[in-house]
Amino acid sequence: MMNSHNQQLSLLSLSLALLLLSGLRVEARLQHHATSYQKLFVFGDSYVDTGNTRIDQPGSWKNPYGITFPGKPAGRFSDGRVLTDYIAKFLGLKSPLPYKFRKLIPQNLKYGMNFAYGGTGVFDTSSKNPNMTIQIDFFKQLLKENVYTASDLSKSVALVSVAGNDYSFYLARNGSIQGFPSFIASVVNQTATNLLRIQSLGVKKIVVDGLQPLGCLPGSTASLSFQKCNSTFNDLVLLHNNLLNQAVTRLNHQTKKQTTFIVLDLYDSFLSVLNHPSSNNIKDAFKPCCVGIISQYFCGSVDENNVKKYKVCDHPKSAFFWDLLHPTQAGWLAVYNELQTTKALQQIRY
């Protein structure tokens, strides 16, 4: 028999799963594109996590996250939808089920699975969540258990996000600027190893995010009064992206198909929106919508009496950034609209 604590946890998990399922049903109504791909598998971090991070961790399961969609916290690091939701929409699929809910909503396994966890990198970071190697291990184990077949994988796409947590951890450990280029090379090499491993497991097409302009995130621009980007950080991002593009070109050459591995250019997509906010219905380009009332607090912070220590802007739909690191739903939609003009997104389908 379960004790009352375990019963409460099971009920909590079930209620979270039901909340997630309601969100997935809404996502189904967003579908626009017919496609031959039937499953989406997602690996990475908070830019694509849709519910794996634990409820006791900061962010995605706390108020005011999720206020735009689905109206309450639901495991996304935003006020609403994130990149995963828009890529799934592009493929004509529901957003794939987070790995941790695989046994609670088994009927949704058919859309693929999201293995991404907020705070993680290709290497270990300050987060205790599983890094990308372990996420791929989870995927491999499900294949061993025949949750997905070779036929399933032949009609599948993988989305891989490497949004910079490795670099934040490098700096937090007092890594030197001089050593940064060689560390960037090691991150890209590990990313390439991960991409090849996902492909070797049978996934037909693998899409990897290029690194967004880290120097434009509110955490980097706060000292500049949220007015302009930090060019030093962005120069390092360009090195990462150049090495990533070279690595992906090599991988495609090895597999003798030019579009097995595809890079999504988040760098240019972010900058296009930030440089032309009004054309994307964005009024606040650099200033985050949700912030702590003083520097020791963050979006979602509460004190020991559960009194909130954050403030939220009046119009999240006109802000690009939700918190110090993550776009709003409106921000992600604007980025997705920019990506739709690129060759890379079209190559996913063919």
Q: Which residues are catalytic?
A: 46, 323, 326
Q: Looking at residue 260, what DSSP letter applies?
A: S
Place of tokens 């009609």: 155
Question: What's the CA gap between 105 and 24, in Å, rounded?
Answer: 11
Strand partners, 255: none
The full length of the chain comes to 350
Whole-angstrom CA distances from 332 to 83, 85, 116 are: 6, 9, 17
Q: Is 163 helix (H, G, I), strand (E, B) or coil?
A: coil
For CA atoms 82, 93, 164, 350, give the dihedral sign.
negative
* N-to-C CA span, the chain: 52
Three-state SS for 347? helix
Distance between CA atoms of residues 47 and 114, nearest Å:
12
Strand 310-312 and strand 97-98: pairing? Answer: unpaired
Rounded-to-integer distance, Cα 267 and Cα 210, Å: 7
Q: Do residues 15 and 7 make contact, with C-beta atoms less than 8 angstroms apart? A: no
**Residue type, position 301, single letter:** S
Computed from CA positions of residues 51, 52, 58, 59, in that sequence, does the dihedral angle turn out positive or negative? negative
Q: Are the C-beta atoms of residues 211 and 241 closer than 8 Å to each other? A: yes
